[in-house]
Amino acid sequence: MDGNGRWATERGKPRVFGHVAGVQSVRAVVTECARLGLGSLTLYAFSVENWKRPPAEVRYLMRLLRAYLRRALKTLMENGVRLRCIGRLHDLPEKTLAELRRTEAKTQHNQGLVLRLALSYGGRSEIADAVRRFGEDVQAGRAHPSEVDEETLRRYLYDPETPDPDLIIRTAGEMRMSNFLLWQLSYSEFYVSPVGWPDFREEALHAAFHDYAARERRYGLVPGADASAASE
């Protein structure tokens, strides 16, 4: 979700104005993904790098997240959405983390879309944290280095159930990954929308899905080969 600040600046407003408008896009996109029957949606809400923003903006974003969670609970329940969080969650303010845990608990039995919020998240941090935890298990005699393969490492990621994304959408025109889901994105399709996040609503989402639907995914195989063979 990118472009909140620019969206606000273009309108002669402070950056936080863009974050407030961005919350409406979160509501719209989450509800639409649930309605369309998607299994998983991960929103990159706050990166490990974002802590270096001015403290007032960081505080505002954390407050906004708490307010979103409190207000969204009803809609999440109505739409069968299960909330999970990934990232260095212990770095979040206590009150924010408490609200996240509460929402995770309340939505844990929902059967529809799994909404993952990436918070204090970095793809490299995720891999480093996984390796550290694996090392701890080795030290404690619960694991052995010879076990390391892709599937074992995946089990140490923040949420091992995070599927490899079919599609990564970046808003506001930027053509970079910015440390998002580095482990999981090996074969993800990438789509860049010129639309800033506060304007990214159903229409822009549908445009991304239409673009994705026209692609041929080859997973390193030759054209026309059955892509499902890639996982065999």
Interface with Mg ion by CB under 5 A: which range of 1-9, 68-76, 94-102, 213-221? 1-9
Query: Do residues 158 and 136 make contact, with C-beta atoms less than 8 angstroms apart?
Result: no
Site mask for ligand IPE (CB under 6 A), range 96-135, x = bound: ----------------------------------------
Interface with ligand IPE by CB under 6 A: which range of 2-10, 150-158, 181-189, 205-213? 2-10
Smallest distance from ligand IPE to CB 52, Å: 12
Site mask for ligand IPE (CB under 6 A), range 49-68, x = bound: -x----------x-------
Which of residues 16, 46, 81, 117 is near ligand IPE by CB under 6 A? Answer: 46
Smallest distance from ligand IPE to CB 224, Å: 39
The DSSP-derived string for 142-160 is S--GGG-SHHHHHTTSS-T
Query: Do residues 169 and 188 make contact, with C-beta atoms less than 8 angstroms apart?
Result: no
Residue 154: CB atoms within 10 A of its CB come to 15
Residue 175: CB atoms within 10 A of its CB come to 7
99 binding Mg ion? (CB under 5 A)? no
φ/ψ of 3, rounded to 5, equals 105, 5
- Helix, strand, coil: what percent of the chain each, to 5? 50, 10, 35
User: Which of 46, 156 has the CB closer to ligand IPE?
Assistant: 46
User: Which residues are known catalytic residues?
Assistant: 2, 50
Residue 144: is it exposed, middle or buried by C-beta count within 10 angstroms (0-12/13-18/19+)? exposed
Question: Between residue 174 and residue 203, which ones bind ligand IPE under the rule CB under 6 A?
Answer: 197
* Interacting residue ranges for ligand IPE, rule: CB under 6 A: 1-6, 45-46, 50, 61, 172, 197
